[in-house]
Structures are given as C-alpha cells and as structure tokens.
Amino acid sequence: MDPSTRIERTLAQALDRGEGPGSPPLLAAAMRHAVMPGGARIRPKLTLAVAAACGEPLSPAVDGAAAGIELLHCASLIHDDLPCFDNADMRRGKPSVHKKFGERLAVLAGDALIVMAFDAVAHGVAAAETPERAGPLMAVLAQSVGAPMGIAAGQAWECEPRAELSAYQQAKTGSLFAGATVAGAAAAGQANHEAWRGFGERLGEAYQVADDIRDVAGNAEDEGKPVGQDGALGRPNAAMTLGLRGAVQRLTRLVDGATAEIPACPGRTALVASVEQQAQAFLPKAIWALAD
C-alpha cells in the first residue's frame, strides 16, 4: 500500500473512532472538516519515509505515529486561524473551521484533535504489539507541540513584546518537522531516535522559507488561502528579507543541508532521493524557475 493510502486510511480510522456512540455531531463534523481532504500530508509522509529508511516500513505503530503528527498539524491550523490569531476565513480552499462551525467548535475541535493524535499513537503501538514504543513516541509528540519549544510555544512568541526570531521560527515550523522525523525513528524502534532531529529541523526551516516564498509569489487560488499575509500582519518573511531569488537559493541550500544530516541507516540513499523529490513540491515550478 502506498504511503498516501496508508496515511488517509489511518486518519479515517482515527476520525471514525472519534465519531463513536455518544459523539456530538457538530464536533465530529468540524474535526472531519479540518482533517479531510488534507493538504500535501508532507509531515506524515516524512514519518513513513524515515521509518522505512530505518528498516520498519509496515508497522501499525508507524502509521499511528504518522497520523498523530498530521492530527497535531491540523489542530494547530484550526487554532492559528481563530479570530484572536490570524482571523483567516479560508484554509485549503474551504472555509476555515471557525468560519463554518463557529469559534466555540473550532476551539474544541482543535483540542479534540490534539488528544486524538495521542490516541492514534496508543492505538498504533497496541496494534503493532510494540508497547515499549508508546512512551518515547508520546514524549516526542509532546515535545513537538507543547512548551517550551513546540508549535504552541512558537505561536506564543507572537504574543511576546520582544520575540526571539530564531526560537519563533524553529518552534513554529521546525518543531513538527523534527517531531515527524524523530517519531518515524522511534516508531521503528530505534533507541537513538534523537539522532534524526537535525534532519527534521533543517527540513522544517526549508519548508518555512518555501512558505514565505509562496506567501509573496503565490496566488490565493493555488494556495487555497489568502497570500500576502506576512506583509499585512507584519510577520517576518524570508522572501521579503532576501528577495525572491535569494530566498529560493536559500531554500535549495537548506534542503541540501537537511539531507546531509540524515543519519546512517539501511535506506539512506533512497531517503535522500525521496526528500529531494518531495522538496520540489514545496514550490510551484514557475517559482523554482525564478532562481535558475
């Protein structure tokens, strides 16, 4: 089964469990709206790719970890879009969750998806009969989204009178990419899963630069959300600081730096090739061409 199919199936199973008897229908609908259909599923694909490179391509523990990472990502998007933050009306080409279901259900759907992420991991390690992997995976997921350095911390830097830019960017984007790679190794039973953090952090940095470029040079229809938001909201943006060509060059260097950090493992060569291929999808072809 190809990675996309595995990811969609595991996410669908998690949502189905959340819609069991007693479930309030609007909450269930809001959660499904936030998760299905998804975006590029870059982070869970990364989790599967790392686990496969470590020699564990098919464990339900890996599927659970990948789904957990994606559910945390979806939860963070819901809360980021709330009126008190970005007040975004659109996400992935559809109304944002609070726009469609109201602010209260958006808060609750985000909360419930955070929780569902941990449940997906618990379910996966139980199905894989690898219970010893639950604790490390739970700690990795928690680190990626909580305090002091996860997504919530990254978002919180927007509320500080003085933000440390590198901590902000590292936490807001890098942390979940690092979580995706480290969780892939932990789900594959690697005791030294922390060795995978540098790779994820560099790749997250690259993705942030790509996101900055798309905010400046993309169009709303392709992105499924408004562009030009960083300038409008006064947020730091690499394409505004370095210029478009400079930012694309920086992106290329960051992807190279990321692959250089991949630890020795049975599937290293294939993983490097796959990362380089996926990084191409970070930007539309027309934008890559700008830096040629």
Which residues sit at the interface with a second copy, rule CB under 8 A? 17-28, 31, 75, 79, 82, 84-85, 101-105, 107-108, 110-112, 114-116, 118-119, 121-123, 125-126, 131-132, 134-136, 138-139, 141-143, 145-150, 152-153, 155-160, 163, 167, 170-171
Minimum CB distance to a second copy, residue 12 (Å): 14
* Rg of the chain taking only CA atoms, in angstroms: 18
CA 75 to CA 179: how far, in whole Å?
Answer: 15
Shortest Cβ 162–a second copy spacing (Å): 10
Q: Which residues pair with 58 in a beta bridge?
A: none
Q: Residue 125: how many CB atoms within 10 A of its CB?
A: 25
CB of 164 to a second copy, least distance (A): 8
**Nearest distance from C-beta of residue 263 to a second copy, angstroms:** 23
Least distance (Å) from a second copy to the CB of residue 183?
13
Instruction: Compute CA distances 22 → 25, 27, 104, 241, whole Å.
Output: 9, 11, 19, 51
CB of 175 to a second copy, least distance (A): 10
Distance CA 292, CA 276 (A): 17
Q: Are 134 and 140 in contact (CB under 8 A)?
A: no
- Whole-number minimum distance, CB 148 to a second copy, in Å? 3
Among 158, 82, 254, smallest CA distance to 167 is for 158
Q: Which is nearer to a second copy, 52 or 128 (CB)?
A: 128
On whether the CB atoms of residues 215 and 84 are closer than 8 A, the answer is no
H-helix or E-strand containing 84?
Answer: none
Shortest Å distance, C-beta 120 to a second copy? 9
The rounded distance, in Å, linking the Cα atoms of 49 and 274 is 8
Q: Which helix (H) or strand (E) holds 135?
A: helix 134-145
Q: Which is nearer to a second copy, 105 or 262 (CB)?
A: 105
Segment 1-8 long-range contacts (CB within 8 Å, at least 24 positions apart): 3/45, 3/48, 3/49, 4/41, 4/45, 6/48, 6/63, 6/66, 7/41, 7/44, 7/45, 7/48, 7/63, 7/66, 7/67, 7/70, 8/38, 8/41
- C-alpha 273/C-alpha 278 separation (Å) is 9
